[in-house]
Chains A and B, each alone.
Chain A
């Protein structure tokens, strides 16, 4: 359901450039966080403790020659900082789960770019046992072709296939062995779309932090299937950065800008 909601919202923003979508999510994150902080924290106490911290700072500036006053101000400043952290703890805990989900969803969209059409990429599969990897073969749908024989790395229990997408699209590849079938989605082309970098064995928790595809069965012969997607980067002239940094900066800026309007004390 979460995946579907995110897919829908990303689909709605498809006409926008990736950075604009990131900006929208930053603002939404800021609003969500501000509201959560506002409703789950003792705003009055936070304001009071922040005021006190400011007062003690000013105390040091206003009475610099009174050593006793300055020392007491520093002690009070330290105590109030701890108190401030205590007040920030509740919203921090409350926010941690929804933001973790959001973060994982954002990572699945902004973490990697699709593989380019007519370019080779690797499908790396890790198996449970060395024996099982011998029988494994890769079944590709029309549009994908294997461009080289598989490479078996027995020490890693890994088989790598070199594959090429003939044209942009979303494909399901299948690793088959001993009558079992393990699929993995591959996205080729360009644009902002959900990219699941790896599919591995795990629980519901795994799906929470790696959304988009169901985890591989726990007792299965395949432990992990990874697609060698290129990382998505944002370019500012010659500077290339991953999504997290502008997201963080934009979220903080938006929170600062909106905290007055949303009457939230941070």
Chain B
């Protein structure tokens, strides 16, 4: 990978020689001078003091640890005796690959490109893994970690509607500012901490295991934000917000425009020229010390293009970063100052897109600083700090790979791919560190790159894909193939560290298919008379101009249709009970088998009545009807954002050309294991109960999954 790393300061040859001579002279002077008692400054003082302190504390800690270790071990041994006494293995390693597709995997195995997965298939197990309804990552991974259907874990999509305002909100967590504040003029002083409420329900399997004394390392499993307490370590994954509280808002700085432009996932900030220097700023979070919520914090920076016009120096927060065109910087620490002593810290990478004729600089969404987290992103809190100290700064944002930047052509394919692999390398280091630490217990890590790259590069793979998005890189059709091969290498390296008596599982939450045409469910509802507009035939984002008093249903997100239910929605029109049931049935019947007139293909394969599809206490929060799109189809971009357009069907012309938010039967995930797993049907909900069973714990009755019958290679 190419980096425009902050170059090490290398003194010139002459300077170095002078330095050496000086050092030699100093050494000689010190050797041949009489003893003198002198204090030699804070540098030496710090060196000596901190070294002494480190050694002293380490020694004290070591002695205490050694002395108390047998007692602690006895105590823990007694506590976890139950778990390990009946355990079929002492160690389970789970590699999760978001979106690894069984069809592609099988194809590449047959072509001999995935030798490690082939080995697992031969010696152990390869099966498809039934995904959830709908087959969306937050839903599927929530079922993976809880062992229950969505009706019990309450996650149905990335977004869920706020029934009072008909606006989307994050389905997994709710972040609210301080509830009690002291107002002084234009300023407010928060008296309590911001509230972060997890919306995912049910209990992850690692809580049961930890309670029984089984240590678990959980790395970047989706929907683990905010991190919940348990006796193990966890780094939150998908749905961790950026510093602005969004799911990823990048900034693009350019001389092309003189006005700031904002969209849902980006901010375009103009450069202000001052001589040879260009000034701009990274937008930060709202200033919570101001009564006006529109006041945002900013991290100013300036760029000075180099003489060669292919390089530039970025000066931010007193640091200088050299960067070349077409390269990423290392992680840059940013500080957003709200007042004296009050600041929020974040990190981002810069990517210099061009210097001439226009200066264009991309900055990733500002990730929460892992060493100074503004919100908790790990359990214990020190775990994210530990990882940052051990391996350097790393991406903390849930959806760290910036698909929006490529989708909207702010990044080229090459740049996006490089970003993905930079993040992946960080993840690999975290995983192997956790693997080394988890000599006994469960180590689980989810890698997202498989999902992101397939979303954006599927059109390279599929023949005759209708996506008209330009290919903006040198990457050929082998991007996805190479991706699978790299994941196979990772699996191979993991296999080397996992003995046969330990269980290795390779799982994915869903597979992948092409996304060629979009179906606007809101337009369909409008045309069918279920959704009414106030004026005109179209609406803006998020149901702008929708006449709720005449609307009976609406669609938000990727697969769901919601009834405008009385008592649930603020302007509900549909009576709960019989009318709601009739409407659900009506939608299911009308939508199932919907044909795209332009292609004569099946756009919607199946539809599901939530009341029949789900069980559990949170079924009422689900979309009332879940749509299972046919292959090549998905909810259109406009539909997902609550916009009504004249046409129901439209071509997907974005780089985002692969998807999985379709009928779950079309996109199962993969299940590989180094053990023989028996049984006929395997589902992602089975993983949690299987793990409890492996460690000899009783499977809670509320879990929907069932433990797989399996045997280690040695016993078979």
Bound-state CA distance A97–B22 (Å) is 11
- Interface residue? B462 (CB, 8 A): no
- Interface residue? B437 (CB, 8 A): yes
Bound-state CA distance A99–B474 (Å) is 58
Per-residue contact bits, chain A 49-68, to B (CB 8 Å; 1 contact, 0 not):
00111110111111111111
Bound-state CA distance A93–B389 (Å) is 28
Q: How many residues of B contact A (CB 8 A)?
A: 52
CB <8 Å contact, B385 and A58: yes
- Interface residue? B73 (CB, 8 A): yes
The main secondary structure of chain B at its interface with chain A is: helix
Indicate which residue in B8, B46, B382, B437 contacts A69 across the interface (CB closer than 8 Å): B437
Bound-state CA distance A170–B132 (Å) is 94
Bound-state CA distance A37–B41 (Å) is 10
- Interface residue? B595 (CB, 8 A): no
CB <8 Å contact, A88 and B58: no
- Interface residue? A85 (CB, 8 A): yes
CB <8 Å contact, A85 and B41: no
Point out the residues of chain B lying under 8 angstroms from A66, CB to CB. Answer: 215, 437, 439-440
Bound-state CA distance A92–B389 (Å) is 25
Q: How far is the CB of A236 from chain B (nearest CB, A)?
A: 20
Q: How far is the CB of A3 from chain B (nearest CB, A)?
A: 18
The B-contacting residues of A in range 67-106, CB under 8 angstroms, are 67-70, 74, 77-78, 81, 84-85, 88, 90-97, 99-100, 103-104
- Interface residue? A218 (CB, 8 A): no
Point out the residues of chain A lying under 8 angstroms from B34, CB to CB. Answer: 205
Q: How far is the CB of B575 from chain A (nearest CB, A)?
A: 54
- Interface residue? A44 (CB, 8 A): yes
Point out the residues of chain B lying under 8 angstroms from A62, CB to CB. Answer: 233, 380, 382-383, 386, 437
Point out the residues of chain A lying under 8 angstroms from B51, CB to CB. Answer: 81, 84-85, 88
Stretch at the interface among B61-69, B114-122, B531-539, B618-626: B61-69
**Total A-B pairs in contact (CB under 8 Å)?**
148
The A-contacting residues of B in range 15-41, CB under 8 angstroms, are 19, 22-23, 26-27, 29-30, 33-34, 36, 38-41
Given A65-B215, A78-B58, also A94-B40 (CB < 8 A): no
- Give the size range of A's interface with the partner: 35 or more
Indicate which residue in A32, A41, A84, A209 contacts B50 across the interface (CB closer than 8 Å): A84
Bound-state CA distance A223–B27 (Å) is 30
- Interface residue? A40 (CB, 8 A): yes
Bound-state CA distance A86–B193 (Å) is 43
- Interface residue? B81 (CB, 8 A): no
Per-residue contact bits, chain B 442-479, to A (CB 8 Å; 1 contact, 0 not):
00000000000000000000000000000000000000
Point out the residues of chain B lying under 8 angstroms from A266, CB to CB. Answer: 42-43, 46-47, 50
The B-contacting residues of A in range 170-229, CB under 8 angstroms, are 205, 209
Per-residue contact bits, chain B 277-319, to A (CB 8 Å; 1 contact, 0 not):
0000000000000000000000000000000000000000011
Indicate which residue in B8, B27, B45, B437 contacts A251 across the interface (CB closer than 8 Å): B45
CB <8 Å contact, A263 and B319: yes
The B-contacting residues of A in range 232-266, CB under 8 angstroms, are 244, 247-248, 251-252, 254-255, 263, 266
Q: How far is the CB of A73 from chain B (nearest CB, A)?
A: 9
CB <8 Å contact, B30 and A29: no
Q: Which residue of B lies closest to A70 (CB)?
A: B65
Q: How far is the CB of A200 from chain B (nearest CB, A)?
A: 13
Cross-chain pairs A/B with CB under 8 angstroms, 30 sampled: A33-B42, A52-B390, A54-B386, A58-B386, A59-B386, A61-B382, A63-B233, A64-B72, A65-B72, A66-B215, A66-B440, A67-B69, A74-B62, A81-B54, A85-B51, A88-B51, A93-B30, A95-B40, A96-B44, A97-B29, A99-B38, A99-B39, A100-B38, A100-B40, A103-B39, A205-B33, A251-B45, A252-B49, A263-B318, A266-B43
- The 7 tightest CB contacts between A and B, nearest first, are A88-B47, A255-B42, A55-B389, A33-B41, A55-B390, A58-B386, A51-B389
By a beta-carbon cutoff of 8 Å, the part of chain A in contact with chain B is 29-30, 32-34, 36-37, 40-42, 44, 51-55, 57-70, 74, 77-78, 81, 84-85, 88, 90-97, 99-100, 103-104, 205, 209, 244, 247-248, 251-252, 254-255, 263, 266
Q: Known pairs A36-B41, A58-B383; list 14 more (Cβ under 8 Å).
A: A29-B41, A33-B42, A36-B43, A62-B382, A66-B437, A69-B439, A84-B47, A84-B54, A95-B40, A95-B41, A251-B45, A263-B318, A263-B319, A266-B46
